[in-house]
Structure 1
């Protein structure tokens, strides 16, 4: 009988200096424009950080705007401080190619950051292809493939959020 390896899961995420700088710029953008937006890192980055691993794949989920709208604000904020935004790109949604969500990208401190809106999926009776619409963080968490991927790191509050109440205990954490 095989025994499960003991994996130490951190209770809090420790940010690198680069991550601190990135999140600082994003929060300063919110303050500069007086935006009431919650910034949440989603997916594998949260899992890896809780396991004490390095991860350079930062995906930011926004609760009340499209990624392209927020990237424009970040670019405008950086310009106002004399910094130059790098590598701006918007990858449009293309449902015919199973790309149901617009994604905006930019480089901050030599890391690519993806920005998307929180979403929920609706399925019609005769289709396996979902219709996407804005959703809450909880709705977004429940649509994810694995509960470990449903964890968010809220940049505004520095807290890990587990809306499914199963993400931290997910057996796939060992992956």
Structure 2
């Protein structure tokens, strides 16, 4: 726990009090964790997605909360992931039981076992996403910050809770998440983490394509997509995921005639369109508008 740090104002929504009482009746510890806490501390208003971790059965907690909230949606249970989700008013709550995970080298399917809050915080991608708020009525709003994530927020640093080689090897999609958060929040990736991303870029190939597309779309939805795309290029990820785009790289000159570097031009086009629209399909169209130029490039004499 971070000494004397409480974020009671983050728990103003009435759903938190109801959740606390339900958890107490089930004799469960529960905490708000992850992005909602991070965004509150960054004064990024309007977060409507709330992650809840229970030390025990998170799915049972979700079902009990839905029963206690008039107008709550039915609980969606994702047994393969051990998670549950419900919608209430304008928010979405996702529940998981605290757990510890272990991975084999060539698999993204971990061996999962019940764990403590500390175990669950260890498996998080970045220290700023391991921040948790207690919903215990005796420690209401207490901030649990085992990796000094608050300091990293202030320094605008992305640091992994564990050795970055372990964090990124366990789930290589976290490499793209690091880049997305760096672009989205204007943060710097810790040098050790950055080196690990560059060293492990090839491991992105074990990730399901739909997960990669989802993360790429989030990068493309940031205010300045070129920031994330440039980092993907520097890390070696873009050449693996979108080789058609990196094929545009380079300026050729033959007998004094030059072609512009279509890669960097493409990133400028993406940023230009992003200033005028948040529509993802238009931003993607800008990204792919020139991919035919590399194989058809020629010089006329």
The TM-score normalised by the length of structure 2 is 0.45
Aligned residues: 148
In structure 2, which of residues 1, 6, 16 is the aligned counterpart of residue 23 of structure 1? 16
Higher share of residues assigned strand = 1
CA RMSD of aligned residues (A): 2.2
The counterpart of 1:160, out of the listed 134, 143, 148, is 143
Pick the structure with more helix per residue.
Answer: 2
Matched, 1:51 2:33: no
Question: For 1:60 and 1:168, how far apart are their aligned partners in 2?
Answer: 19
2:243 corresponding residue in structure 1: none
CA distances 1:117-136 after superposition (whole Å, capped 9, x unpaired): 11111234675542111111
Question: How many Å apart are 1:63 and its aligned residue?
Answer: 0.5
**What is the deviation of 1:154?**
1.3
**Unaligned stretches of 5+ residues in structure 1:** 1-10, 94-100
Unaligned runs of 5+ in 2: 159-184, 188-301
Give me the TM-score of the superposition, normalised by structure 1.
Answer: 0.74
Higher relative contact order (CA 8 A, sep 6+): 1
Match of 2:117 in 1: 137
The one-character-per-residue Cα deviations of 1:11-59 (angstroms, maximum 9, x if unpaired) are: 5432364x2x01011122234xx22211111111111101122211101
Q: Distance in 1 between matches of 2:107 and 2:92?
A: 34
Greater than 6 Å deviation, 4+ residue runs: none
Distance 1:137 1:16 in 2: 19
